[in-house]
């Protein structure tokens, strides 16, 4: 007869075995969900440009183009059977083997068996689900589709049809119209309600990812009823479970652009006779009209805050290269007009210049700041960040009065970007950011976006890069080869050698004039050549008459004629032609001032045109018409400073710029 102790032990063992069997049974049940046991769908749509920015090596991102469907439309992420309370969407893998689940967990989706799809379904998924290129449909089928109770072809046909219905709405079109801009979340939800009815905003959730202080739209999700019908109206299927997850987007969200796509809005136009911007042999860095859209050259004229306040099309500013949006007492302008080698006639740009990857300035700078190119940044007005030895907040004569950036690759190919903006750019890399200030237009302490400014960028061959570096050295530009914030030296040894010589005051007294591979001419004035700047340009161009728009302020250099006496001169240059001082210009019927000064209606650009119609020159410079034509102090102001001038001979650009600065002219010998 068993003892009581033995009997008690047997009972305990039996109980433990029962408990273990219950746990195993529960675990097996949890690991084997049953298809059809769900109460709603989560319909998830992706904004592919933002996804590809974080996953650039994905096949669908490597192959993305500005013209592809997913550049401007929401695309299918998934259609997920959902159980109430399952906020992490764990319900899935219904009847799926462990071997397939292991492949899915390892993200080796293309090794998973392909679901049986018709050729028509595959074609549609390639458009509406770009992740099809990296076998996303296999992951979506085994994790989610197997629980829908539908066959694979039926499931994906339903999913891409619903996506198409969303893309045909004003909600999707509103997102597309605002590519590259910041929008209000409330405005986007209002667009959703216009399509799906009053109060329907509670059925949609917006998800964002915050990068460098900017919240980017990444995902749009809706809850749908279980009785979906591809032929039905989407608004009839919307539902809102009591425990629905909440979106993550703040009030301001940025619609990220795909490489090369162009945001359209307002009065923006597109090039009417677009041609391949670069020769097929060239693959190096280049000026960009938008991310992924290279051209030989572009010119941007930023308008002033009095005549063209704030940004185009109601866009909001974004500090994508660092800094915080500055109020500037409510007075700024980042509206702009631009021209390029694709379309040399000036046209209105969209959004805030310098704050997006869809405008020439922002896109071109981004490939340096967030790339791996070598660079030199120079500016006589860094305002202490970075510090320049021997200078206070800015560097005065005999330093050059010049601002810009040069970038190049291992082969020495690159581009130059001349700017007229104080304190921007002041860092060439996100790895060496400014320490005390921002590095995005509209996000720096100095209000350089109050008055008019100009930007000019030009593609350069390796020989061109050397010529530009030599011209910068001749002009005594302010930089520091030892400071990685503004110089990253590398590439060909001859290029590196010249870069090392920058950041020093040149003792030259002779100008340079070279012709670059694009046919653009480059003039470099040394600080030691004490002459009125734009009269020098006229003389170097064989006395061509000019009209200029610069920061025209004291000490004024007034309009000169063929008979004006100029004693601050080097006779070896020959004779200057007449040089007019433009004091007003206009765009689209609105007149604005071209005088220098602290007023909102002022100009800080340095541009000019020939007034001889047979010489169709458009000129972009560093120097103002400040100084003197004659007298004892020939080194006065800009006479005693170095700078560069780029001259394009282009009829369409010449005509547009002539009209831009056509207006009132300063009198001869007066202010």
Instruction: Give the sheet arrangement for strand 546-549, strand by strand.
Output: 512-515, 521-525, 643-649, 617-621, 607-610, 546-549, 579-581
Assess contact for 416 and 566: CB atoms under 8 A: no
Encode pLDDT of 433-458 as tens digits: 999 999 999 999 999 999 999 999 99
Closest CA to 121 of 147, 155, 72: 155
CA angle 284, 288, 292 (to 5 degrees): 75
Which range (173-182, 577-586, 648-657) has the least confidence? 173-182
Query: Is residue 14 included in any domain, yes or no?
Result: no
Whether 236 and 378 share a structural domain: no
Residue 643 in tokens: 């700078």
* Residue with token string 């392909």: 114
Assess contact for 192 and 205: CB atoms under 8 A: no
Query: Is residue 176 included in any domain, yes or no?
Result: yes
Q: CA-CA distance, 472 to 480, in Å (whole number)?
A: 13
How many residues would you count in the chain? Answer: 671
Question: 5: exposed, middle or buried (C-beta count within 10 Å: 0-12, 13-18, 19+)?
Answer: exposed
Whether 655 and 603 share a structural domain: yes
Q: Of 202, 233, 254, at which residue does a domain stop?
A: 254
Question: 213: exposed, middle or buried (C-beta count within 10 Å: 0-12, 13-18, 19+)?
Answer: middle
Whether 228 and 357 share a structural domain: no
Q: What is the structure's pLDDT at 213?
A: 76
Whether 222 and 337 share a structural domain: no
Query: Is residue 263 included in any domain, yes or no?
Result: no
Whether 305 and 196 share a structural domain: no
Q: What is the structure's pLDDT at 248?
A: 93
Mean pLDDT, the chain, as a whole number? Answer: 89
Q: What is the structure's pLDDT at 259?
A: 53
Whether 316 and 203 share a structural domain: no
Residue 504 in tokens: 């020093």
Q: How many domains does the chain have?
A: 2
Whether 363 and 481 share a structural domain: yes
Distance in Å from the first CA to the final CA of the chain: 125
Query: Is residue 571 included in any domain, yes or no?
Result: yes
Encode pLDDT of 136-158 as tens digits: 999 999 999 999 999 999 999 99
Whether 471 and 588 share a structural domain: yes
- If you average pLDDT over residues 573-600, what whole number do you get? 96
**pLDDT of residue 332 exceeding 90:** yes
- If you average pLDDT over residues 37-59, what whole number do you get? 90
Neighbours of 264 (CB within 10 A): 17
Q: What is the structure's pLDDT at 304?
A: 97
Which range (30-39, 125-134, 295-304) has the least confidence? 30-39
Query: Is residue 281 included in any domain, yes or no?
Result: no
Encode pLDDT of 218-256 as tens digits: 999 999 999 998 888 999 999 988 878 889 999 999 898
Whether 77 and 147 share a structural domain: yes
Whether 246 and 293 share a structural domain: no
Whether 456 and 511 share a structural domain: yes
Residue 140 in tokens: 């979506």
Q: What is the percentage of the chain residues whose pLDDT exceeds 90?
A: 78
Q: CA-CA distance, 627 to 15, in Å (whole number)?
A: 101
Q: What is the structure's pLDDT at 66?
A: 72
Query: Is residue 148 included in any domain, yes or no?
Result: yes
- Phi, psi dihedrals of residue 192, rounded to the nearest 5°: -65, -40
Q: Of 196, 228, 254, at which residue does a domain stop?
A: 254
**Structure letter (DSSP) for residue 304:** P
Question: 196: exposed, middle or buried (C-beta count within 10 Å: 0-12, 13-18, 19+)?
Answer: buried
Quickly state the pLDDT bin for 283 (edges 50, 70, 90): low
Whether 232 and 359 share a structural domain: no
Query: Is residue 377 included in any domain, yes or no?
Result: yes
Domain encompassing residue 148: 40-254
The CATH number for 238's domain is: 3.90.730.10
Which range (27-36, 103-112, 342-351, 406-415) has the least confidence? 27-36
Q: Is the pTM of this model over 0.85?
A: no
Assess contact for 512 and 524: CB atoms under 8 A: yes
* Residue with token string 């799809």: 117
Q: Of 228, 254, 280, at which residue does a domain stop?
A: 254
Query: Is residue 4 included in any domain, yes or no?
Result: no
Q: CA-CA distance, 251 to 96, in Å (whole number)?
A: 41
DSSP per residue, 312-351: GGGPPP--TTSS----GGG--B--EEEEESS--S-EE--S
**pLDDT of residue 184 exceeding 60:** yes
**pLDDT of residue 263 exceeding 60:** no
Closest CA to 255 of 188, 162, 322, 164: 188
């Amino acid at each position: 007869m068993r003892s009581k102790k033995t009997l008690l032990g047997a009972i305990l063992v039996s109980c433990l075995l029962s408990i273990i069997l219950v746990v195993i049974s529960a675990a097996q049940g949890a690991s084997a969900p049953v298809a059809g046991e769900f109460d709603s769908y989560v319909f998830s749509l992706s904004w592919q440009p933002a996804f590809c920015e974080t996953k650039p090596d994905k096949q669908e991102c490597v192959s993305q183009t500005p013209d592809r469907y997913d550049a401007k439309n929401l695309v299918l992420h998934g259609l997920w059977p959902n159980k109430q309370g399952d906020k992490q969407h764990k319900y899935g893998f219904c009847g799926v083997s462990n071997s397939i689940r292991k492949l899915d967990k390892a993200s080796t989706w293309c090794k998973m068996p392909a679901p049986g799809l018709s050729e028509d379904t595959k074609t549609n998924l390639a458009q509406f689900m770009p992740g099809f290129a990296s076998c996303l449909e296999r992951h979506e089928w085994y994790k989610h589709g197997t629980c829908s109770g539908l066959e694979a072809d039926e499931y994906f046909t339903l999913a891409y049809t619903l996506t198409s219905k969303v893309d045909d709405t004003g909600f999707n079109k509103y997102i597309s119209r605002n590519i590259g801009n910041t929008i209000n979340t409330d405005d986007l939800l209002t667009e959703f309600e216009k399509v799906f009815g009053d109060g329907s905003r509670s059925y949609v959730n917006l998800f964002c990812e915050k990068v460098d202080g900017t919240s980017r739209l990444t995902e749009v999700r809706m809850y749908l009823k279980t009785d979906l019908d591809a032929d039905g109206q989407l608004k009839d299927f919307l539902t809102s479970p009591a425990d629905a997850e909440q979106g993550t987007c703040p009030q301001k969200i940025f619609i990220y652009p795909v490489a090369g796509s162009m945001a359209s809005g307002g009065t923006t136009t597109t090039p009417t006779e677009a041609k391949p911007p670069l020769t097929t042999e060239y693959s190096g860095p280049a000026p960009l009209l938008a991310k992924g859209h290279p051209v030989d050259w572009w010119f941007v004229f930023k308008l002033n805050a009095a005549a063209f306040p704030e940004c185009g099309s109601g866009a909001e500013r974004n500090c994508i290269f660092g800094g915080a949006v500055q109020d500037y007492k409510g007075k700024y302008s980042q509206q702009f007009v631009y021209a390029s080698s694709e379309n040399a006639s000036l046209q209105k740009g969209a959004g805030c210049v310098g704050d997006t990857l869809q405008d020439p300035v922002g896109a071109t700078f981004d490939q340096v700041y967030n790339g791996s190119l070598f660079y030199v940044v120079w500016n006589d007005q860094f305002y202490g960040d970075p510090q320049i030895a021997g200078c206070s907040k800015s560097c005065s004569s005999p330093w050059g009065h010049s601002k810009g950036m040069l970038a190049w690759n291992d082969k020495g190919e690159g581009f130059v970007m001349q700017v007229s903006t104080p304190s921007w750019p002041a860092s060439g890399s996100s790895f060496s950011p400014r320490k005390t200030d921002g590095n995005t237009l509209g996000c720096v302490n100095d209000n350089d976006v109050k008055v008019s400014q100009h930007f000019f960028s030009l593609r350069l061959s390796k020989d061109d890069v050397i010529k530009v570096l030599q011209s910068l050295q001749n002009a005594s530009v302010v930089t520091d080869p030892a400071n990685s914030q503004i110089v990253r030296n590398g590439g060909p040894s001859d290029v590196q050698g010249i870069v090392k010589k920058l950041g020093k005051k040149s003792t030259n007294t002779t100008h340079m004039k070279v012709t670059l591979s694009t046919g653009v001419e480059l003039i470099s004035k040394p600080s030691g050549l004490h002459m009125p700047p734009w009269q020098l340009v006229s003389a170097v161009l064989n006395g061509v008459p000019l009209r200029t728009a610069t920061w025209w302020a004291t000490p004024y250099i007034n309009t000169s004629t063929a008979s004006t006496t100029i004693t601050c001169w080097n006779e070896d240059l020959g004779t200057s032609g007449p040089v007019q001082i433009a004091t007003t210009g206009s765009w689209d019927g609105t007149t604005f001032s071209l005088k220098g000064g602290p007023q909102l209606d002022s100009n800080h650009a340095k541009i000019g045109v020939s007034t001889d119609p047979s010489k169709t020159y458009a000129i972009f410079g560093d120097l103002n018409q400040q100084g003197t034509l004659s007298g004892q102090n020939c080194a006065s102001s800009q006479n005693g400073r170095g700078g560069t001038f780029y001259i394009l001979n282009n009829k369409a650009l010449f005509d547009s710029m002539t009209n831009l600065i056509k207006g009132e002219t300063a009198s001869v010998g007066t202010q």
